[in-house]
Structures are given as C-alpha cells and as structure tokens.
Amino acid sequence: MKLKVRPDDFRVDELMRLNLQPQGRFSIYQLEKRLWNTMDALDVIQRKYHLKGIARAGLKDRYSHSTQFVSAVGDGPGLIQEENFSLRLLGRSDEPVSLDRMIGNRFRLTLRDMKPEEAAAVERNLPAVRKQGFANYYDEQRLGSARHGAGFVAQKLILGHYNGALKLYMATTSAFDDAETRRFKTYAAEHWGDWRDCLKQAKSEFVSVLLYLKDNPKDFEGAVLRIRHDLLELFLNAYQSYIWNETLAQLVTSFGLKTVAVPYAAGELLFYLELSPEAQEFFRESEIPVASHKAVVPNERIGRALNTALTREGLTLRDMKLPFRSRGVFFKPYTRAGVVKPEKLHVSEPAPDDLYPRMKKMTLSFTLPPGSFATVLIKRLMV
C-alpha cells in the first residue's frame, strides 16, 4: 500500500472556531499549501512579507494538500501567492489562532497500490474501529527529529550532553533529509570540531550555531541556545511524544488485550483489536499526561505505565526538565486521550488504481480531534 503518492492523495482541512469581525488586533488567514511543511512556509512568509507575531494551531505534513489557519499581529496583505502555497486574508479578530480554538481536522485520503489482502484488511477492521476507535498514538511525523533512529536530542539535553545533542541535530543523517541537508550533515560528521570548514558548507538553519562555535569552540551549551526556539520546542515535543507512546502501549498491555504490533520509526505501536469493558471505561474516563516534571498523574495505573516508560530511558518524571533556561522552551504539561473515534468515517469500495496497473485503490474520509494522526488510523485499519 502507498499513501501520499500525490499531494491530493492526502487532503487535510483544519477545522476551527473563528470569531471573525471587521476590526481586531489580529489578521486571520487561511494557509493552503502543497509540498511545504507548515514551519518552512511560515518562515518564508515572515521573512519576505514581514508579518509580525505569526501564530498557528497545528503542523501540516509536507506531502499533503492542506488548509490551516494562522494569525498575524496588525495589518497584512489580502493575498500572498507563492509556488505551491497561498495565504488568504479572512478577516480580523481580537484573539490569535491557537490550539484552544481548534475543533479538529477533516481528512480525505487515497490509498494506492493495494494488494487484495490489504483492501480486505481495511474492510475487515472497519467495524471495530467505528465501534471502539483506535489507540491514539503519535506517528513518525511528530518524531521527525529522531527518525534517523540514533536517539533524541531532548534526552541528550536533559542529561547535559550538549555535544551529543548538537551531533544529533547537525551531523546525523536521516532518510527523510533532503539532499542538501544530507550532504551537510555527512560533511559535519566527518569534520566535527572544524567549525570554520563546517560553516562554509552549512545550510542557513545551522549558520548561527556554527558562527557561535567558531568563536567559542568548546561552549556546546551556548551553541545549543543558538538553535531556533521553535526547533528546540520540536525536539522536546518529539521526546515527550515517544515517551507518551510507550506509556500508552504499557496501558494497553496492562488490560491483557489481544494486540498487534506495528513497526514505526521509533519502535512499535501496539494496537488493541478489541477493548474489554474495563478498558473502555478506563480510556473513556482517563486522559494520559505527557512526561513533564510538572505532570499530574491521575491514577495508579497511569503512574505505573509512565514510570515503566521513563525507567527504560533511565529517567524519572522529576528529570523531565532542561538544565538550562531558554525563554518559552520547556517540557510543557498537558494530557491526551488514549483512544479516539474517527467521526464520519466513510470508505469507498476497492477500485482499479489509475497509477498502478492491476492494483487497487480506496478512498477514506473522516474527521479526527486535534493532534490525532490519520496515518495511525491507517496503520490500525491495515493490521
């Protein structure tokens, strides 16, 4: 099975409560894009069009056709049109775009190059997913900074291993890197410590860090603080997401449910096939906290699962904080549902695939709550 063969094979539209009005402190925009990730598109908008205080609720995948909402402080242009993305002014508001105002995401996906048994698996699993939902894991996109499989920048930072964190960031290649990034990371790995030489090869993302190291070659902590704050936040989010996944897997295991393990970039996702009445009640009543030194653990079962996940990392909940201060960069405490049900889930009959002769394609449409991954739902339907 193949997903995201074309951008329009993965269509996602953000759903949000917007209080639009003629006047207000914030300009509210809709960003429509293909072949751009959200952060890169907003970086271009901020630098080229000088919009101030840009805020967004979520991140949308590069390999998709997506719409989402963003806000900027003050006035801005009515329309920005660039190759493969546009920004259209919708109106004004007294409130910025934020996750608190997000309702969810509406998806329309085309699964291609399907074997008969894969199409049969989707049809077989559909009733159970409609009835009992699926385990609400984070998927690989959220763990993007660790998809090389060499570890997590955030774990190195917690332990004060700043040199190791920088190596993971700037000198560890991933199959998901573009060619330019891969070339630089390979060069940096071979010339680690030769900061002047690395600087000559560097992409713009790494320049400020390398400029600092050129003048302060042993101050790795200071170099870490030159990483863009939004990237540092993504490193922390990735590690919290991985530990959360491991915690959820422990909880699923604790009920003795029949499960299937599906591999992903950071290990395995453990999917239940059917929830027992006890498990249904638990997941209906309990939200699972992410790992943070400020996390509130609501019950003993979750405490055991979280402790098991952290122990495997050589950490405790109290350790989930950074040994340095950087404004706005910390392990934020929040909770997340362990099980979600897709709304308005419709699946087409298998049909001949126009791109892959003798193979099948299927189209799925559904809505998920904020932060839930359509790709995880597909993994569950394919087991």
Q: Dump pLDDT digits (tens) for 299-333.
A: 999 999 999 999 999 999 999 999 998 888 999 99
* pLDDT category of residue 169 using cuts at 50, 70 and 90: very high
pLDDT digits (tens, 9 = 90+) for 104-156: 999 999 999 999 999 999 999 999 999 999 999 999 888 877 778 889 999 99
Q: Going by DSSP bridges, is the β-strand pair 65-73/10-16 parallel, antiparallel, or unpaired?
A: parallel
pLDDT attached to residue 61: 86
Residues 32 and 88 in one domain: yes
pLDDT attached to residue 370: 95
The percentage of residues in the chain with a pLDDT greater than 90, rounded to a whole number, is 89
Residues 356 and 250 in one domain: no
Residues 349 and 248 in one domain: no
Cα(309)–Cα(245) distance, integer angstroms: 9
Cα(309)–Cα(251) distance, integer angstroms: 10
**How far does Cα 103 stand from its chain's mean position?**
17
Average pLDDT of the segment spanning 49-53: 93
Residues 23 and 74 in one domain: yes
DSSP string, 60-83: --SSSEEEEEEEEES---SEEEET
Average pLDDT of the segment spanning 31-35: 96
CATH number at residue 207: 1.10.1510.30
Cα(180)–Cα(282) distance, integer angstroms: 47
Per-residue pLDDT at 261 exceeds 90: yes
pTM of the model: 0.93
pLDDT attached to residue 217: 96
Average pLDDT of the segment spanning 83-91: 96
Cα(219)–Cα(163) distance, integer angstroms: 9
CATH number at residue 357: 3.30.2350.20
Of 292, 165, 167, give the one whose Cα is nearest residue 237. 292
Residues 245 and 195 in one domain: no
Residues 98 and 10 in one domain: yes
pLDDT digits (tens, 9 = 90+) for 212-254: 999 999 999 999 999 999 899 999 999 999 999 999 999 999 9
Decide which of 231, 260, 285 is a domain's last residue.
Answer: 231
Decide which of 177, 202, 231 is a domain's last residue.
Answer: 231
Residues 292 and 309 in one domain: yes
- CA within 13 Å, CB half, 227: 23
For residues 320-354, b (16+ Cβ closer than 10 Å) or e, as one string?
Answer: bebeeeeeebbbeeeebbbbbbbeebebeebeebe
Residues 222 and 162 in one domain: yes
Residues 312 and 247 in one domain: yes
Residues 129 and 197 in one domain: no
* pLDDT category of residue 377 using cuts at 50, 70 and 90: very high
Residues 275 and 326 in one domain: yes
Decide which of 231, 258, 291 is a domain's last residue.
Answer: 231
Cα(187)–Cα(202) distance, integer angstroms: 9
* pLDDT category of residue 203 using cuts at 50, 70 and 90: confident
Residues 246 and 121 in one domain: yes
- Find the domain containing 224 and state its range: 145-231
Average pLDDT of the segment spanning 182-194: 95
Give the count of domains, the chain. Answer: 3
